[in-house]
Amino acid sequence: MKLHGYFRSSASYRVRIALNLKGLSAEHLSHHLRKGEQRAPDYLAINPQGLVPTLEGDGGIVLIQSLAIIEWLDETHPQPPLLPDDPLRRAQVRAFAQAIACDIHPVQNLKVLARLRDLGLAEEQVTGWAAWVNREGLAACEKLIIGEAGPFCFGDAPTIADLCLVPQLANARRFGVDVAAFPRLLKAEAAAKELKAFADAAPERQGDAE
């Protein structure tokens, strides 16, 4: 397999964790987002959205969107499972993951922040927007799992919820958010970071890290 990504991309980070948890190897191909390499014609021919990650597999398989990639990996390599067996619990895990992947991450990512700069907002306003999005979204996520015993977001093993949470907390810190306000999220993050699969997927450990 080939994983097209970028060391700081939180969506790519999620997929790297999933690959590591499944014990799967992939060739990592970097596309420097700040240099616009994701908009190169040869990459757009693979992923018309011009986003990362993209996963290429045997037989010409091409998959985009991190959660779709992760669920495909989970279905084709079931151990260890990243979703619970119980339908209700599975829906709750997916809801948490989507709260991050669909509602927090997209409106504070590089593409949106660049557009805000293009519209004339000062850098302080741009980063302030990103911090606000993270604080608001993570506050809701904290409430979603406040009653969960853990140590992970949902139980005693990581799920796609944790795969989304850890990269998003890294984003929040980068924008100056005081994540101490979210003790239950930090408990799940601490449990995740004890695992080699999460540690090895960290941005600073990637070959294209700057």
Q: Are 101 and 107 in contact (CB under 8 A)?
A: no
Per-residue model confidence as pLDDT tens digits over 41-79: 999 999 999 999 999 999 999 999 999 999 999 999 999
* Tokens (6 digits) for 98: 């989507």
Per-residue model confidence as pLDDT tens digits over 183-201: 999 999 999 999 999 999 9
Sole residue written with tokens 């699969």: 197
User: Is the entire prediction scored with pTM above 0.95?
Assistant: yes
- Cβ-based neighbour number of residue 148 at 10 Å: 17
- Which residues lie across from 44 on neighbouring strands? none
* CA 135/CA 178 separation, integer angstroms: 8
pLDDT of residue 21: 98
Residue 166 CA to chain centroid, in angstroms? Answer: 7
pLDDT of residue 194: 98
Q: Give, for 91, the enclosing helix (H) or strand (E).
A: helix 87-98
Strands 2-5 and 27-30 turn out to be: parallel
Sole residue written with tokens 């997927």: 201
User: In which band, very low, low, confident or very high, does the pLDDT at 179 lie, cut at 50, 70 and 90?
Assistant: very high
Per-residue model confidence as pLDDT tens digits over 130-173: 999 999 999 999 999 999 999 999 999 999 999 999 999 999 99
* CA 10/CA 105 separation, integer angstroms: 8
Per-residue model confidence as pLDDT tens digits over 110-121: 999 999 999 999
Cα-Cα-Cα-Cα torsion 39, 64, 206, 159, nearest 10 degrees, comes to 150
pLDDT of residue 132: 98
Per-residue model confidence as pLDDT tens digits over 79-95: 999 999 999 999 999 99
pLDDT of residue 66: 98
pLDDT of residue 187: 98
Question: Cα dist. 90→58, 83, 84, 93, 158 in Å?
Answer: 28, 6, 5, 5, 13
User: In which band, very low, low, confident or very high, does the pLDDT at 17 lie, cut at 50, 70 and 90?
Assistant: very high
In one-letter notation, the amino acid at residue 173 is R
pLDDT of residue 1: 96
Domain annotation for the chain: domains and CATH numbers:
2-80 (3.40.30.10), 87-197 (1.20.1050.10)
Q: Are 17 and 202 in contact (CB under 8 A)?
A: no
